[in-house]
Amino acid sequence: MSFGSRARAAMEAYGPLCVGIDPHSALLEQWGVGDTFEGLERFAATCVEAFAGQVAFVKPQAAFFERFGSRGVAVLERTIADLRHTGSLVVLDVKRGDIGSTAAAYAEAYLDEDSPIAADAVTVSPYLGFGSVQPFLTEAARNDAGVFVLALTSNPEAAEVQHARGADGRTVAGTILAHLAEHNAGAEPMGSFGAVVGATIGQTDEDLAINGPLLVPGLGAQGGTVDDLRRLFGDVWPQVVPSVSRAVLEAGPDVAELRASAGRLTEQLVQW
């Protein structure tokens, strides 16, 4: 099955929520496990127990593992392996962006099924030109995986790039979205190539109907609300994958509380 097909099946089974696994130092301390390698291991294992087969998407943020060096990357590998094939899809948040053989090597690392760190999907940055993400799209298609391309992020400084207009009058964000719609054309139930669109962007006139999933970070601790999602994504709601991290993770380290926190948010989302 393509990633788009598996994503749709997961959303129908569990609801659309994506829960991030972000073991940053403050959260490790808050959980009482300590900002140490051992704390990282306990944090990651607890998240796997809480979310695997319970939510549609789980999104480990690679940077928080990489700061512990090779041992941290080994924990990330194990976390991905433990999550995959549980019903939940793993979106590895790495936001890689490069060209040529380097981009191809990143794509193989994260999307080739034979790689020890292969995920169901990966996040990438297109700001070396949309053509620079082609190795990721090619590798994803080869492995029935997915790619989420940064398009309309909600950090304040994003506007100077994403809202800039080219010679054809289109914004950079609009061009990225148009490329994704082209790559997803004709795919059913939806394409495998998604966009990252922040929940706190306020408003947009861009066409978000790309026939692919829309990964929407910013719900919860960053200020995004379910009402914001309703306002921004009404016409494309079936493709929206709201992503939350701290608002759920702060319920830890108790597994039951973590599941309950994710469940309450999922219920809000599916009731609309």
The CATH number given to whatever domain includes residue 25 is 3.20.20.70
At 116, is the pLDDT very low, low, confident or very high (cuts 50, 70, 90)?
very high
SS (H, E, C) 110-125: HHCCCCCCCCCEEEEC
Which residues are within 8 A (CB) of 165 and not within 5 positions of it... i.e. 6 or more apart?
Answer: 171, 172
Sign of CA dihedral 218, 148, 215, 58: negative
pLDDT value at residue 221 = 65
Report residue 139 as tokens: 């590798």
Return the active site residues: 95
pLDDT at 128 over 70: yes
pLDDT value at residue 210 = 98
pLDDT at 122 over 80: yes
pLDDT at 66 over 90: yes
Give the domain extent around 19.
Answer: 3-270
Higher pLDDT among residues 201 and 256, named by residue: 256
The answer to which of 119-128, 194-203, 215-224 has the lowest mean pLDDT is 215-224
What average pLDDT does this structure show over 216-239? 85
* CA 185 to each of CA 84, 88, 130, 180, 254: distance values in angstroms, whole numbers, following the listed order: 27, 25, 17, 9, 43
High-pLDDT (> 70) share of the chain, %: 99
pLDDT at 220 over 80: no
Cα distance between residue 85 and residue 81, in whole Å: 8
pLDDT value at residue 268 = 92
pLDDT at 222 over 80: no
Is 215 strand, coil or helix? strand
Give the CA dihedral 53, 227, 190, 13, nearest 10 degrees: 30
pLDDT at 272 over 70: no
Cα distance between residue 162 and residue 202, in whole Å: 14
pLDDT value at residue 46 = 98
In 10 A of CB 170, how many CB atoms? Answer: 14
pLDDT at 213 over 90: yes
pLDDT value at residue 201 = 86
pLDDT value at residue 71 = 98
Report residue 161 as tokens: 């790039």
pLDDT at 226 over 70: yes
Domain count, the chain: 1
